[in-house]
Structure 1
């Protein structure tokens, strides 16, 4: 396996810095997490985007959030077809095993995945339309919502609105999972849709009654 290389030196230095400071100062807590297991109160489904730092936004410590990240923070519909479903498997584990009380979908501004979906729907991204494009086929989850923003002429506003629709689409798809729907109905689980502005640090929460996102 000669294609696996040693860790870059800058990451090695950062690790040793963390071990000497953060870990050393909190090693009792880390050891407790290791021996007692995890009991997160919430699961967060966020985008892979490196600018979205879920734990920093909420000031969370290790063990607080069960986090899953994928392109454009999307949840596929419930499809027990036997294929590989990383996102669905993570949701199943969080809800049925960890018994999280809250399931949060966190979208964000300047989302490359959402913009890719816009370009694909508008016919400007043939590479994403190719069957072998993993990103394109993943963004097919969001394509049914494109009609809601297709007529918005301002590209910036169109993208921002579509980013929010991506969150709503994921919330709707979550309810197609029987174990999610059951937990929501019996009150043991609540769903939350959030959108964050990377540049401004703003956070908005989806209000299903008004069908809009409002500042937290």
Structure 2
């Protein structure tokens, strides 16, 4: 493929630094991961946002989490229509093949995807409304959440509310997958919703009983 180029030098240097330190110091562990396969205890569905460092937040080691990232940490509703569904495939693999015990949806503050959904749904982002916009059509998943927060007048409060709705909508959609619903029903799987405040480092958990997010 003629358009592929060599890796930027700073990334090459970082790789060699990692190989000489972290890898060398834990070589036996990496070899075990390679030979024994992966056995993650949880799947985490988080945003692509580079500021959300999932493994650091939970102090996780390699092999502990099965991580899937997409714009605004969304899970679409179950739709086996023969099209390509990356997030749905990841959920299926985590639950059916890896047998994870937990699926965690992790939202966050200052989410650009959520802001895009707000702009689109309020008529201020015609580029996202275009049928050819991958981001716009992906953010259509969050429209039910927008309907629940559209009457909030304060812009910052509305965005934060929709960021949390991105988690709730995803939890609702997870339960439309028959194999997820069955695993939750028989107790082999639990689903969880979290929202992370990047600036303060705080984490909030969705309470089904209280129908709101509460600090951890």
TM-score bracket, normalised by the shorter chain, equals over 0.9
1:2 CA drift (Å): 1.8
Using the alignment, how far apart are the partners of 1:29 and 1:17 within structure 2? 18
**Contact map agreement 2:144 2:169 (CA 8 A) in 1:** no
State TM-score, norm by structure 2: 0.99
1:106-125 deviations in Å (ceiling 9; x for gaps): 00000000010000010000
C-alpha displacement of 1:55: 0.1
What SS is found at the alignment partner of 2:170? Answer: helix
Aligned-pair CA distance for 1:30: 0.3
Q: Give the match for residue 112 of structure 2.
A: 112
CA distance in 1, matches of 2:149, 2:183: 32
The count of residues paired between Structure 1 and Structure 2 equals 216
Q: Which runs of 5+ in 1 are unaligned?
A: none
Runs of 4 or more, structure 1, over 4 Å off, are none
Distance 1:147 1:201 in 2: 29
TM-score (norm 1): 0.99
Q: CA RMSD in A?
A: 0.5
Q: Which residue of 2 aligns with 1:94?
A: 94
Does the CA contact (< 8 Å) of 2:101 and 2:190 recur in 1?
A: yes
Please state if 1:204 is matched with 2:184. Answer: no
CA–CA distance in structure 2, aligned partners of residues 147 and 45 of structure 1: 23
- Corresponding position of 1:40: 40
Give the unaligned 5+ runs of structure 2.
none
C-alpha distance in 1 between matches for 2:44 and 2:151 = 31
Q: Does structure 1 retain, via aligned residues, the 8 Å contact 2:194–2:203? A: yes
1:214 aligns with 2:214: yes
Contact 2:101 2:189 in 1 (8 A): yes
Deviation by residue 1:159-189 (Cα, 9 ceiling, x = unmatched):
0000001100000000000000000000000
The residue that corresponds to 1:138 in the other structure is: 138
- CA distance in structure 1 between the partners assigned to 2:145 and 2:202 by the alignment: 24
- Per-residue Cα deviation, 1:143-165 (whole angstroms, up to 9, x for no partner): 12212111111111110000001
- Counterparts of 1:4 and 1:51 in 2: how far apart (Å)? 27
Which residues of 2 match residues 1-216 of structure 1 at below 5 A? 1-216=1-216
